[in-house]
Structure 1
Amino acid sequence: MNPQPIPFIPDDAPFNPDQRAWLNGFLAGMFSTATQTAAQPSATSEEVALYFATQSGTAERLAKKFAKDLKANGHRPVLASLAETDMASFASQRCAVIFASTYGDGEAPENSRSFRDALLAEDCARLNSLRYAVFSLGDSSYEQFCQFGVELDERLADLGATRIIGRVESDVDVDAPFAAWKDTCIATIGKKNGASPSVSVAAVPIAPVSVTAKPSLYSRDSPFPAEIVERRALTTGTSSKLTMHLALQLNESLPYEAGDACGVIAQNDAALVDEIISLLPFDGTTPVDLPKIGSTTVQYALTQLYQHTRASRKMVQAFASRTQHKNLLTLLQPEQGGHLDKYLYDRGLIDLLSEYRGAIESPSELFAILPRLTPRLYSISSSPAAHGHELHCTIAVVKYRSHNRERGGVASTMLSDRLEVGQTVPVYIQPNQKFRLPADGRTPIIMIGPGTGVAPFRSFLHERRALGHKGKNWLFFGERSVQTDFLYCNELQEMCDSGHLTRLDTAFSRDQATKIYVQDRMLEHGALFWSWLQEDARIYVCGDATYMAKDVDAALHALIEKHGGMGPEAAQEYVTKLQDESRYHRDIY
């Protein structure tokens, strides 16, 4: 039989060299996978434990898709969340596939941290009988890209488990990497006797490729110096928090689309850096050689390069090892995961340096325990069609007091306090291909965005009006009080009056004895919500992943059950179909 030629991207296709190389590699991998799968069909049926660790729901969605394909291939999948899995149960498995999201600065999703701590514990049982695969999800705009998945994969190998197939590190556009990896993984699981490759497949970093976005001259590594042209408070002086509107001047070299995010290259507070240096046995001018960076000074590294305002498990481990302090050693015990999270929540490097003097003796020790300072991403609240090259962000300024110290968010306080209008800030655009308006301007959209989650929906509303889209628009907005926290109140009211914003339902939680949230408003208007879904409406959710997004998702399931006349399983299938058809979008953090 003559070998079939491997497909490739021609040189004159509309891709840059990096994109063309990636696509050619992707096609080659899919081609070889297809031929191998055809030649070696599944030979055995096996029980496969599928675990997911998720913050926004994507990992769980992929695990459920994987389960369906496993069943179709004659296997017996068992689905479980790592949040509800103990090590004894996990260690009893013989074949496991893990879908692991990374949250924040390389952290496991909050509800999976107990499992992570148990797995990383020194007394964790050996797993010599386990075959496993890890599909890790992350966002490449963060320094610790897919870190939790990397930790799981490497720790399982250290404990004697055998890889079924190499780890995939997927960026935000997960569907193509998942499809390519899934088929090979299932084919390998089904090989006769369940034999795993004697040498594990190398990890496959997969980056999204956009064929529609106009290329930019600027990036995270080469940001654009955007001038601050406006800054104003959106909350009143009596509000318990400050949310501000920030306008930046771009040019045609840095295009963006409605739904994208603005990446801000932040710097640490110089006063805090000086205080940290005062607690070290070396000064800011001390030279230090850093991996991938080269030679610089301690002062520059602490100001520009490293994150130190939030304590981490790695910091506590280092200080515990060097001081042997009982309190720190106790916090690191597997059963103390909750107490450790509470300890880390409102502390930074300066707290450890203040309390445990002399633990850090050299610059190399210091920077070995600090994560890189990552850009901060803010959903863009302006519309390129309506606002041209002016980009708007809606920013909650993080300020609080803990342990007798005033603290604040690195980027938000820089933008609100340490820079002035007229100065520049380095920025880049982070595309969000999964959070786009429908191509058909007649399609109804439902937007759910409490607090600063309203940002992309302000962008959507301005964009649709500027483009003349006639589809219906429904916004659910929530905050603390109508008098102090109604962001963009006048704009939204004007859009309501003109008919462009078809419905505006608000939930101000502290304006009555019983707190009301956006999910409550969804249930109140469940019948109308369901009727919009029957008109092919798209749902968009933006905001907090820990509580809001879960409550909104639960409300969506509940109203579908009630007004669609479905049981829980049918409602779940309906929501999964919404996701598969790109009708349910979430930008949560």
Structure 2
Amino acid sequence: MMRQVPTIPDNAPFNAAQRAWLNGFFAGLAGEGAASDAGATSVAPAEQAAAAQTWRDVDDEDVEYDWHDPAMPMDERMKLAADKPLELRLMAAMAQLDCGSCGYLCRSYAKALADGDDGDMGKCVPGGKQTARMIKQIMKDAGDEAPGAKGDAAGNVTGNGQVEVRSQGKAIVDEDGRPKYGRDHPFPAPTLAVRTLTGETSAKDVRFVSLSIAGSGMSYKAGDSLGVFPKNCYESVDALVRLTGFGGGELVPLPDGRVMTFREALIEWCDIDNPSDELYELLASHASSDEAKLLKQASEGLAVDGLVDEARVIDVMARFRSARPSPVKLVEALDRLQPRLYSIASSPRRYPDEIHLCVGVVRYMQAGRRRKGVASTFLAERLASYEPVPAYVQGSHGFAPPSEGERDVIMVGPGTGIAPFRAFLQEREATQAKGRNWLVFGDQHSASDFLFKDELEQYRDAGVLTRLSTAFSRDQDEKIYVQHRMLEHGAEMWQWLDGGACFYVCGDATRMAGDVDAALHAIIAEHGRMSEAEAKAYVKRMTDDRRYLRDVY
């Protein structure tokens, strides 16, 4: 007897990918255990899995989350998500970048936390302490909505019912027994070159870093990022160890089962930049009564006399000298050092065994202390000795040159935002793409901050780079930024856009990306002769068609 397989009608409220998945699902159910039924329809497991993945991807992309905007302040995002389910409130608390530094997208990381599949609430590096604190508060307030205690082979149940993921750092191998490198098992990439890109008179320090991935089995595409696991500065760690009153050689267990010395754990495992709420609680339990009250105040983000804004762990330990817990307790209370993502500045078509980065080095003085960016100074200073870099490739989510080589491309990348567009130009040259390329680059001074100047001018002279527009903000009395160059050339830029050009932006999310977005809307409204609402709808169509893509941080 032929089994009737139910199908989803075309007028049902599902898109094509959803209908395909549901039809495959029902077909699979109908075929299960009925292989002898003549004419019974079945779907191969691999095809079902692919369909399910497509549905999940499309479902995530089709749903519009009002708060999914990296420029939107936290309080506004939380208001928009106030009446939403737990996982969506968690998503709203994140940085909204979909950068992948956590190993997920914002939506999937939020789901993993809400379902209890991941208990590490500090993985959203771009969101920083603000996000970590908000996530912990949401989980605390969730009550019955939060997952119950559960665990699996990769996790251990903690006292509050959360899963503490304990990666053993074991290499995953492919079918031939070769290691597969990724976020949970980074490749120790040898350093090939480190050189300064900025001039001697520059107020900035930008480095070119080249790493080898030969023999790793890893591959990458133009538009991808490299995840780097940094190590803390030795000088900063030594200063912190001295402040604790311990010697640094004390043995401490790590959550992944390893045992390290206190000093090694502070270098390789612990986030010593951002004091965790658990650290404040630990210190309060060991401090004098007066200092315990102040620690409680500091843990709530309130000002404390003698403690600088954006205090680091060493500042907290220096301020509250009555609190001296053991090295084991200190390491337990500190957040884990998370990887940093850098846009890859090379194309595999030209450098299949190398990955290039463009790194802006962070250094500044605060309250008499010299501050350093953890990853940027690790790459800029420590790699002089050609120390291997634990790294993995993080694939982009659509941020890539168009597959149609004849399509025009507009790229806006000030400062180190030039990185992926160097890769794009290498890719477009290697593939002999016929479409035009327009780069809008900006920085402070042409003489000292024109990153990759010689390369870009060679591309322009060779015809690979059709237009090179620059905006050096400090070379004249009036500050000129990339958005001003866009508006200045608005009529021509509209012609490119109207002809189907893809528009890309890379760089700072908090200000630059918003200014560029406003300029894009203004150009479309003025030169496309549209109302504000029509221009907004046009940009929305560009986004839906993957013609407007941003890699912002």
TM-score normalised per structure 1? 0.69
Letter in 1 for 2:213: L
2:440 is the alignment partner of 1:462: no
Q: Provide the aligned length of Structure 1 versus Structure 2.
A: 462
Deviation at 1:90, TM superposition (A): 9.1
The 3 A distance-change label for structure 1 pair 396 and 356 is: same
Partner of 1:487: 451
Kept in 2: contact 1:258–1:436 (CA 8 A): yes
Q: Which residue does the alignment assign to 1:177?
A: none
Q: 1:358 aligns with which of 309, 317, 322?
A: 322
Give 3-state SS (helix, strand or coil) of 1:419's partner: helix
The reply to whether residue 83 of structure 1 matches residue 75 of structure 2 is yes
Matched, 1:5 2:27: yes
Q: Does 1:277 align with 2:241?
A: yes
SS at match of 1:307: coil
In structure 2, do the counterparts of structure 1 residues 319 and 517 end up closer, same or farther at CA, with 3 Å as the change threshold? farther
1:512 aligns with 476
Q: Does 1:394 align with 2:409?
A: no
Q: Does 1:246 align with 2:224?
A: no
Q: Which residue of 2 aligns with 1:118?
A: none
Whether the aligned pair in 2 keeps the contact of 1:445 and 1:473 (CA below 8 Å) is: yes
Q: Alpha carbons of 1:574 and 1:273: their partners in 2 closer, same or farther (altered >3 Å)?
A: same
| Aligned equivalent of 2:374, options 395, 410, 417 | 410
The amino acid of 2:95's aligned partner reads Y
**Residue 485 of structure 2: SS of its match in structure 1?**
helix
Equivalent runs, 1:87-106 vs 2, <5 Å: 98=89, 100-103=92-95
For structure 2, list consecutive stretches of 5 or more residues without a partner in the other structure.
Answer: 7-25, 30-41, 60-64, 99-106, 125-130, 149-161, 166-177
- Report the CA distance shift for 1:412/1:355 in structure 2 as closer, same or farther (over 3 A): same
* Deviation at residue 82 of structure 1 after TM alignment: 5.5
Is residue 425 of structure 2 the alignment partner of residue 451 of structure 1? no
* Matched letter for residue 223 of structure 1: P
Which of residues 120, 131, 144 is equivalent to 2:122?
Answer: 144
Q: Which amino acid aligns with 2:190?
A: E
The 8 Å contact of residues 56 and 588 in structure 1, kept in 2 or not, is answered as: no
Give the counterpart of 2:388 among 407, 418, 424: 424
Q: State which drifts further: 374-383 or 318-327.
A: 318-327
Superposed, which structure 2 residues align to 1:101-500 within 5 Å? 101-103=93-95, 136=110, 144-145=122-123, 150-151=135-136, 153-158=138-143, 217-251=180-214, 253-311=217-275, 315-316=279-280, 319=283, 322=287, 324-325=290-291, 329-330=296-297, 346-420=310-384, 422-500=386-464
Moved more, 421-430 or 560-569: 421-430
Q: Secondary structure at the match of 2:384?
A: coil
> 1:370: how far off?
1.7
How many Å separate the matches in 1 of 2:296 and 2:492?
A: 55
Residue 546 (structure 1) aligned to one of 504, 510, 532: 510
Residue range with higher mean Cα deviation, 354-363 or 226-235: 354-363
* Alignment match, 2:547: 583
- Map of 1:116 onto structure 2: none
Q: Supply the distance in 2 between the matched residues of 1:240 and 1:439 (Cα, whole angstroms).
A: 38
- What SS does the aligned partner of 2:92 have? strand
- CA distance, structure 2, for counterparts of residue 29 and residue 461 of structure 1: 33
Quote the offset at 1:242 in angstroms. Answer: 0.7
The whole-number CA distance in structure 1 between the counterparts of 2:317 and 2:268 is 20
SS in 1 for 2:425: helix
Q: Which runs of 5+ in 1 are unaligned?
A: 14-19, 34-49, 58-80, 107-132, 167-201, 206-214
Identity %: 37
2:491 equivalent in structure 1? 527
Structure 1 counterpart of 2:410, which letter? Answer: I
Alignment CA distance shift 1:264-1:333 (3 Å): closer
User: What amino acid does structure 1 have at the position aligned with 2:427?
Assistant: E
How far residue 535 of structure 1 moved from its aligned partner, in angstroms, is: 0.9
SS of the equivalent of 1:559 reads: helix
Note the aligned Cα RMSD (angstroms). 4.0
Kept in 1, the 8 Å contact 2:438–2:468? The answer is yes
Which range moves more in the overlay, 439-448 or 385-394? 385-394
Provide Cα deviations, 1:501-536, integer angstroms capped at 9, x if missing partner: 111111111111111111111111111111111111
**Structure 2 CA distance for partners of 1:152 and 1:535, relative to 1, 3 Å:** farther
CA shift for structure 1 position 368: 3.8
CA distance in 2: counterparts of 1:137 and 1:100, whole angstroms: 12
What is the alpha-carbon distance in structure 2 between the residues aligned to residue 392 and residue 95 of structure 1?
41
> Secondary structure of 1:420's match?
helix
Q: Is the 8 A contact 1:254 1:429 kept in 2?
A: yes
Contact 1:527/1:559 (<8 A) preserved:
yes
| Aligned counterparts of 1:574 and 1:464: Cα–Cα separation in 2 | 26
Is residue 100–residue 135 contact of structure 1 (8 Å, CA) maintained in 2? no
Distance 1:440 1:396, change over 3 A: same
Deviations 1:259-299 (A, max 9, x none): 01112221112222122111224432222233344543322
Rounded to whole Å, the distance in 1 between the matches of 2:434 and 2:474 is 35
Between 1:368-377 and 1:443-452, the stretch displaced more is 368-377
**C-alpha separation in 1, matches of 2:528 and 2:136:** 42
Helix, strand or coil at the partner of 2:469:
strand
Q: 1:532 to 1:105 in 2, by over 3 A?
A: closer
Instruction: Give, as a single letter, the amino acid of the residue that structure 2 aligns with 1:466.
Output: A
Paired residue type of 1:144: G
